[in-house]
Amino acid sequence: MGAPPLSPGRGAGAAGQRWWVLLAPLLLAMLLVRPAGALVEGLYCGTLDCYEVLGVSRSAGKAEIARAYRQLARRYHPDRYRPEPGDEGLGRTPQSAEEAFLLVATAYETLKDEETRKDYDYMLDHPEEYYSHYYHYYSRRLAPKVDVRVVILVSVCAISVFQFFSWWNSYNKAISYLATVPKYRIQATEIAKQQGLLKKAKEKGKNKKSKEEIRDEEENIIKNIIKSKIDIKGGYQKPQICDLLLFQIILAPFHLCSYIVWYCRWIYNFNIKGKEYGEEERLYIIRKSMKMSKSQFDSLEDHQKETFLKRELWIKENYEVYKQEQEEELKKKLANDPRWKRYRRWMKNEGPGRLTFVDD
């Protein structure tokens, strides 16, 4: 028994649907595609041919293009233009002369550069690639005139210089502050007396220097002793050239390779061979557990580091117990602190989120 024949209406509808499926992409493409045109308003010389503007052929060399440009520029320069009998087109008035001059300059800028001229010739030969021409035109026009590498280098150098002087300023402020602390000032004064520096300063300034000059010189001697005897770490440490951004970027490959070698040795010695941690490795694990930077950890007192080692805080369980103890101790200190009590009382009675009317 054969299949029932399709009715004429049903067959025509199915055929119409198939044709619509085939025609839809074609119609969409026709709507999106722009009509081809080699000369486009807004690109290069607009709807005029740059070669025709200068009056040269496409095979003209740089010298011929430059000569044609100079002749037309002298003729249409707004300050020098004088209408001549028989002039037609651009140049009949000072306003049109200025337009002609700008058009000639645009044509010359387009054809004098090899890369730009190559893009322009390609546009004349391939008018259908409309969006590609727009991309090449604006990518060259908006490209930075200065090499980006030079800009980056100058910026990094400027930041490095600012870093260096900023660190020196912080370091000098720290030394000046330590010179006012009695503990360090007395020690520095004793060292200066033992070395005879203060006596020499007074002898040299007995007849030649005033008391203020002698006082300033003694102050500088004390500051120099503090600089030589005290190791300041952290944000106020003595600036080092290798810490500047420029040198950090230069040494980045070396630091990366050093870290890879160190990490491989760590895996081989302690994970594969099962060696015991040394003191340096134990302190490193403790520092990572405490989430402290190297400068922060180095600024701790030696007895604190010894306590960490005695309690074996590189072991995770021991560190968790130590952390819990520190949190409980902090809570006790805050509970007994009068300022903390006043703050909690203020938060309870008058803290943020409470709206009241004040009756005077």
Domain at 50-142, CATH homologous superfamily: DnaJ domain (1.10.287.110)
SS3 for 83? coil
Phi–psi pair at 351, nearest 5 degrees:
-70, 180
Q: Give the residue-averaged pLDDT of 307-335.
A: 88
Would you place residue 240 in the very low, low, confident or very high pLDDT band (cuts 50, 70, 90)?
A: confident
CB 286 within 8 A of CB 308: yes
Phi–psi pair at 85, nearest 5 degrees:
-60, 135
d(C-alpha 220, C-alpha 210), whole Å? 16
Q: What is the pLDDT of residue 47?
A: 83
CA count, 13 A, side-chain hemisphere, 354: 10
Is the pLDDT at 126 greater than 50? The verdict is yes
Measure the CA angle with vertex 266, ends 260 and 269; round to 5°. 135
Q: Give the residue-averaged pLDDT of 132-155.
A: 78
CB 75 within 8 A of CB 91: yes
pLDDT in tens, 97-123: 788 888 888 889 889 888 889 888 888
Q: What is the pLDDT of residue 134?
A: 78
CB 232 within 8 A of CB 171: yes
Comparing 24-38, 183-197, 236-250, which segment has the lowest mean pLDDT? 24-38
Q: Alpha helices, DSSP H only, in the chain?
A: 8-32, 50-54, 62-76, 94-112, 114-125, 130-141, 148-178, 182-195, 197-204, 211-229, 245-250, 252-266, 279-290, 294-298, 302-310, 316-336, 338-349
Q: What is the pLDDT of residue 232?
A: 67
CB 91 within 8 A of CB 83: yes
Q: What is the pLDDT of residue 264?
A: 93
Is the pLDDT at 238 greater than 50? The verdict is yes
Two tokens at 355? 């709206």
Q: What is the pLDDT of residue 86?
A: 53
Is the pLDDT at 93 greater than 50? The verdict is yes
CB 54 within 8 A of CB 76: no
d(C-alpha 269, C-alpha 258), whole Å? 16
Burial 244-275 (b: 16+ CB within 10 A, else e): bbbeeeeeeeeeeeeeeeeeeeeeeeeeeeee
Cα 129 to Cα 39, 43, 103, 133, 322, distances in angstroms: 12, 13, 24, 6, 71
pLDDT in tens, 187-222: 888 888 887 776 665 665 445 667 777 788 888 888
Two tokens at 161? 């210089």
Would you place residue 320 in the very low, low, confident or very high pLDDT band (cuts 50, 70, 90)?
A: very high
Token pair 């722009």 in the structure block, residue: 34
Domain residue limits, the chain: 50-142, 149-200+211-239, 240-275, 277-348
Is the pLDDT at 52 greater than 50? The verdict is yes
Q: What is the pLDDT of residue 201?
A: 58
CB 187 within 8 A of CB 149: no
Is the pLDDT at 10 greater than 50? The verdict is no
Comparison of pLDDT for 261 and 222, the residue scoring more: 261
Q: Among candidates 264, 308, 307, which has minimal Cα distance to 289?
A: 308
CB 83 within 8 A of CB 93: yes
SS3 for 36? coil
Contacts of residue 266, Cβ cutoff 8 Å, sequence gap at least 6: 281
Comparing 35-39, 149-153, 170-174, which segment has the lowest mean pLDDT? 35-39
Is the pLDDT at 314 greater than 70? The verdict is yes
Q: What is the pLDDT of residue 253?
A: 92
Is the pLDDT at 287 greater than 60? The verdict is yes
When the pLDDT of each residue in the chain is averaged and rounded to a whole number, the result is 77
Q: What is the pLDDT of residue 30?
A: 39
Would you place residue 300 in the very low, low, confident or very high pLDDT band (cuts 50, 70, 90)?
A: confident
Two tokens at 28? 């969409």
